[in-house]
Structure 1
Amino acid sequence: MDTKPPSSPHVLIFPLPMQGHVNSMLKLTELLLTAGLHITFLISAKDHDRLFRYTTVHGHLNSYSGFRFHVIHGLYEGPVDTGDKLTILFDSLSKVTTPLLRNMLLDSPVACLIADGIMAFPLDAAKGTGVPVFFFRTVSACAFWAYFCIPDLVTSGDIPFQGTDMDKQIVNVKGMEGFLRQRDLPSFFRSDVNNVTLQQIANVTRRTQESHALILNTFDELEGPILSEIRKYCPNIYTIGPLHAHLKSTSSNNLFEEDKTCIGWLDQQSPKSVLYVSFGSITTLTREQLIEFWHGLVNSGKRFLWVIREDLLLNHGGDNKVPSEVKDVTRERGYIVGWVPQQEVLAHPAISAFLTHNGWNSTLESIVEGVPMVSWPFFADQQINSRFVEAVWKLGLDMKDTCDKTIIAKMIKEVMDVKIEDFTKSANRMAKLARECVSKGGSSYRNLDRLIKDIKEMSVRSTDIQVN
């Protein structure tokens, strides 16, 4: 009888090659490595190069003997700031990666594939291989559920939108009746039902039912009612977030170079006196919008730390540089950088509030640190997240669909002065729940443990099948 102990389970992890997706799936990778699993992480050549240049991820993860990057060449590597460009990226991924995935699943023992659930083709690549596919969705549960309901919204006539009243309520997304408005759905909901992005999102989200399980970077105490609706269609769900709160490591997964001088500047500021401003890795602004934000920030009278990426400003007549007046006039109360170590910034005692695009990673990081938000969503899940921030979780104000200096200044003062006690109380309560859920015995702690055990059992079954 062969008494040789089984080898560690081997897992393939495959994110969409975008900052927020790579970031959260690298965090999942570290958690699985810590549990003794072996991981192959599929990554685009561009993202691999950025991680090598701007982070310590390579050295950090390579300290685990069971980890390796598998670099994918030949993918579209241009900007992904519109639905059309996102379609180009998906087409590129499907063409290049489907045969690659299938060969990897067939040629070596793999316990499971954890694929970014925004891509459907990994399901097709895995067909007939016997390898279970877990879908990991990097968006909120509330956004996932709205996407899942797209066919129902078309049937009910909610899509396409009728009339121009964007405050008209949407009543056919169960669990969101009473507060979801037309303006709270992503921009691709606002066009024709044959919109390519709308159809792609609807189809891939419904195909989640074909996967073995759904992994979500959220926690039951935050999105419980919505998770109950999702479980009616996808019963096997692992809610394991906030992922970054599980980790003791402060290793950065950013695809941009961090300017850590901002921490020294924050050290010189009074406690709870600074507004942190960042619109994430994809959002773009027109020159006019940038100026409105600048006036709003200055007129608020608050000190601010503002992230202005090199590519934040849309190309305007060949001039893509930040206006000099923005830098010059903000010297007294503001500090402008290209990118920051965001978790460290949000945890800094000088930070009072966060003017954010409400990307899901940013929203969770703000929640964990108990920082109230002023929301200015750009696209995709961000519109729904911002509505939940204001109407459901009471963690800040939603400023979507407007970019006016007067409103910007008013909302900043509302969050940082007028309603600071209410928002801080709600934020501290939710931060406490977030920390408890990843502590031993908490809901996300238990779900992560269940995920690890289930993967290990899959590996044992796979070994038995090969032996027999």
Structure 2
Amino acid sequence: MTSDSYVTAAAGAAASTHVLIFPFPAQGHLNCMLQLAELLAAADIHVTFLNTEYNHRRLLRSSSGNSLPGRGPGPKVQFRAIADGLPDDRARSAARLLELDASLRARSSQAYRDLLVDLREGSGGRAPRVTCVIADGIMPFAIDIAEELGIPAMAFRTPSASSVWAYYCIPKLLQSGELPIPEGADLDEPIRGLPSFCREARSSDDPMLRFVAEVTAHSARARAFILNTCEHLEPSALSSIRARMPVTYAVGPLHALRSGSESAPARASLWREDRTCVAWLDGQPERSVVYVSFGSFAVMSRKQFLEFWRGLVGSGRRFLWVVRPDLIEEGGWTDEMESMIEGARDRDRARVVGWAPQREVLGHRAVGCFMTHSGWNSTLESMVEGVPMICWPFFADQQINSRFVSEVWRIGLDMKDTCERSTVERMVREAMEGDAADELRRSAKATAEAVRKSVEEGGSSFAAFQRLVQHIKSLARPN
């Protein structure tokens, strides 16, 4: 059955439609799935957003409730939370992703099942009984439990379509002997842009390889597949994915898809934003600032931090750097580093903050390029604003994203795994000065225009979102 078959929903279904959205408990996953929740609520669908207790507390502390969805007319997004099974003092980091996943499956699945039973019977308050689940595709148990209870489930994947397709290919690469990659092999030949866990795997039984291959294959069992991308950016990958999952909705970039809602998109920040950096940007010349942020998961050593810092200072460019409290590996922060930051701030050449309102920063006239970890949310936000990127990928899909930024879309530069000060300085100059920078800006502007058209009325993502809404409403059963 194709997605167009769902356009004619049953009369009155909208009033009784209730979707539960369950993201994997990480910043990047929360961000775009909360945006989807707000968009569905604006389309007259009741939404329950299920978070972990640990992250929901952080979300409330960082936002003070001001940036959460449900501020306009119509149904609001209700928030529910379950425990993730880990102690509060345990780091939820990229290095412990598999530990968090195992804890969710072992310790949270029963609470999730109990909540679904409650919502299925209409015991969740004023909202109608739950009629659909949209679960993060890397949590197969969330899809399976919903279907076992008779609740139709859809899978949402937060990476790029190209990354998802690369994950699909892992079993074939193992079978053909392309993986695992021998130590010392040329990583550019013959397969390009492999994710970090593929490059680091030394055995076909590598846990991370197994994890991404299994969860990606499982997504084909869901009623539909939702991706935060658009047809213009990834036509080939989307075509390949649809060969496996015909009902695939490319509805991104979600943060730019308002679909009739005039309010600004929700922000799901687990850190409190330091808005003083916007005032600092107001005082800087146009396109003079390098914005530096490595997202919510990436970490670096003290040596890497110092190489980045000295390269940025050596470039002679002003820069705004987001340095999360946990960015530097444990024990890596020193008084010398603090002194360097204070010295640059005193000269008004640099600003360092713990977290920034990223979409607002990227849209600021003073920002000339974005040094990024190439997470998919950050990549899309930079694309929409037409800001060229310097990519230092860290984990998972980021190597693929950075390769596409530099080699396919040609809207940025790929640092790969290196961060020597000379490389940092050279790439900043290339992205900010001269003919090369002019070419990057032209390409980034053209990409921004095409991506924005996709989310406007008549665009491919706008149309796909409308079909998704009708599909969801068609699943509502009469009360």
TM-score w.r.t. structure 1 length?
0.91
Query: How much has 1:58 moved relative to structure 2?
Result: 6.5
The alignment partner of 1:401 has SS state of coil
Percent of paired sites with the same residue: 43
Query: How much has 1:105 moved relative to structure 2?
Result: 3.4
The alignment partner of 2:303 has SS state of helix
Deviates more, 1:103-112 or 1:151-160: 103-112
User: Quick check: 1:330 aligned with 2:340?
Assistant: no
Aligned to 2:61: 53
User: Quick check: 1:23 aligned with 2:12?
Assistant: no
Query: How much has 1:155 moved relative to structure 2?
Result: 0.7
Residue by residue over 1:84-109, the C-alpha shift from the partner in whole angstroms, topping out at 9 and shown as x without a partner, is x1111011111233223333333423
Deviates more, 1:362-371 or 1:321-330: 321-330
- Cα distance in structure 2, aligned partners of 1:82 and 1:259: 24
Aligned to 2:195: 185
User: Quick check: 1:287 aligned with 2:302?
Assistant: yes
Query: How much has 1:222 moved relative to structure 2?
Result: 0.5
User: Quick check: 1:299 aligned with 2:314?
Assistant: yes
Query: How much has 1:441 moved relative to structure 2?
Result: 0.8
Aligned to 1:176: none
Query: How much has 1:225 moved relative to structure 2?
Result: 1.1
- Structure 2 unpaired stretches of 5+: 1-10, 121-128
- Cα distance in structure 1, aligned partners of 2:471 and 2:144: 22
Equivalent of residue 269 in structure 1, options 280, 284, 295: 284
- Cα distance in structure 2, aligned partners of 1:370 and 1:89: 35
Structure 1 residues 59 and 22, CA gap change in structure 2 (3 angstroms):
closer
Structure 1 residues 322 and 99, CA gap change in structure 2 (3 angstroms):
farther
Equivalent of residue 363 in structure 2, options 341, 347, 351: 347
Aligned to 2:453: 436
Query: How much has 1:156 moved relative to structure 2?
Result: 1.1
**For the Cα contact (< 8 Å) 2:82–2:112, is it kept in 1?**
no
User: Structure 1 counterpart of 2:158, which letter?
Assistant: T
Structure 1 residues 43 and 297, CA gap change in structure 2 (3 angstroms):
same
User: Quick check: 1:417 aligned with 2:433?
Assistant: yes
Structure 1 residues 199 and 361, CA gap change in structure 2 (3 angstroms):
same
- Cα distance in structure 2, aligned partners of 1:339 and 1:92: 28
Aligned to 1:375: 391
The alignment partner of 1:231 has SS state of helix
State the Cα RMSD in Å: 2.0
Query: How much has 1:5 moved relative to structure 2?
Result: 4.8
Query: How much has 1:61 moved relative to structure 2?
Result: 2.8
- Cα distance in structure 2, aligned partners of 1:119 and 1:72: 15
Aligned to 1:458: 475
Q: Higher relative CO (CA 8 A, sep ≥ 6), structure 1 or 2?
A: 2
Aligned to 2:188: 168
**For the Cα contact (< 8 Å) 1:309–1:339, is it kept in 2?**
yes
Structure 1 residues 408 and 60, CA gap change in structure 2 (3 angstroms):
closer
- Cα distance in structure 1, aligned partners of 2:446 and 2:466: 25
Query: How much has 1:321 moved relative to structure 2?
Result: 6.9
- Cα distance in structure 2, aligned partners of 1:458 and 1:290: 50
Query: How much has 1:60 moved relative to structure 2?
Result: 4.4
Residue by residue over 1:229-285, the C-alpha shift from the partner in whole angstroms, topping out at 9 and shown as x without a partner, is 111111110000000001343343211011100011100001111100000111111
- Structure 1 unpaired stretches of 5+: 172-179
- Cα distance in structure 2, aligned partners of 1:122 and 1:356: 31
Structure 1 residues 5 and 388, CA gap change in structure 2 (3 angstroms):
closer
Query: How much has 1:422 moved relative to structure 2?
Result: 0.8
Query: How much has 1:66 moved relative to structure 2?
Result: 4.2
Query: How much has 1:57 moved relative to structure 2?
Result: 4.4
- Cα distance in structure 2, aligned partners of 1:271 and 1:133: 47
Structure 1 residues 29 and 268, CA gap change in structure 2 (3 angstroms):
same
User: Structure 2 counterpart of 1:190, which letter?
Assistant: E
The alignment partner of 1:220 has SS state of coil
Aligned to 2:173: 153
Deviates more, 1:437-446 or 1:412-421: 412-421
- Cα distance in structure 1, aligned partners of 2:256 and 2:276: 24
- Cα distance in structure 2, aligned partners of 1:321 and 1:212: 54
Equivalent of residue 447 in structure 1, options 455, 460, 464: 464
Structure 1 residues 232 and 74, CA gap change in structure 2 (3 angstroms):
closer
User: Structure 2 counterpart of 1:325, which letter?
Assistant: S
Residue by residue over 1:282-323, the C-alpha shift from the partner in whole angstroms, topping out at 9 and shown as x without a partner, is 111111111000000001111100111111111127x57782
User: Quick check: 1:249 aligned with 2:263?
Assistant: yes
- Cα distance in structure 2, aligned partners of 1:322 and 1:22: 35
**For the Cα contact (< 8 Å) 2:20–2:133, is it kept in 1?**
yes
The alignment partner of 1:304 has SS state of strand
User: Structure 1 counterpart of 2:78, which letter?
Assistant: R
User: Structure 2 counterpart of 1:395, which letter?
Assistant: I
**For the Cα contact (< 8 Å) 1:20–1:361, is it kept in 2?**
yes
The alignment partner of 2:394 has SS state of coil
- Cα distance in structure 2, aligned partners of 1:170 and 1:126: 41
Structure 1 residues 45 and 24, CA gap change in structure 2 (3 angstroms):
same
Alignment of 1:81-120 (within 5 A): 81-83=93-95, 85-107=96-118, 108=120, 109-120=129-140
Structure 1 residues 241 and 117, CA gap change in structure 2 (3 angstroms):
same
**For the Cα contact (< 8 Å) 1:51–1:58, is it kept in 2?**
no
Structure 1 residues 135 and 189, CA gap change in structure 2 (3 angstroms):
farther
Alignment of 1:57-76 (within 5 A): 57=65, 60-63=68-71, 65-76=75-86
**For the Cα contact (< 8 Å) 1:44–1:75, is it kept in 2?**
no
User: Structure 1 counterpart of 2:168, which letter?
Assistant: F
TM-score w.r.t. structure 2 length?
0.89
- Cα distance in structure 2, aligned partners of 1:376 and 1:348: 22
User: Quick check: 1:195 aligned with 2:230?
Assistant: no
**For the Cα contact (< 8 Å) 1:278–1:306, is it kept in 2?**
yes
Residue by residue over 1:61-81, the C-alpha shift from the partner in whole angstroms, topping out at 9 and shown as x without a partner, is 344544211111253253233
The alignment partner of 1:354 has SS state of strand
Structure 1 residues 445 and 56, CA gap change in structure 2 (3 angstroms):
farther
Aligned to 1:406: 422
**For the Cα contact (< 8 Å) 2:38–2:77, is it kept in 1?**
no
Aligned to 2:42: 34
Aligned to 1:217: 228
- Cα distance in structure 2, aligned partners of 1:369 and 1:59: 21
**For the Cα contact (< 8 Å) 1:356–1:362, is it kept in 2?**
yes
Deviates more, 1:109-118 or 1:99-108: 99-108
Deviates more, 1:255-264 or 1:411-420: 411-420
**For the Cα contact (< 8 Å) 2:23–2:33, is it kept in 1?**
yes
Aligned to 1:237: 248
Aligned to 1:174: none
User: Structure 1 counterpart of 2:371, which letter?
Assistant: L
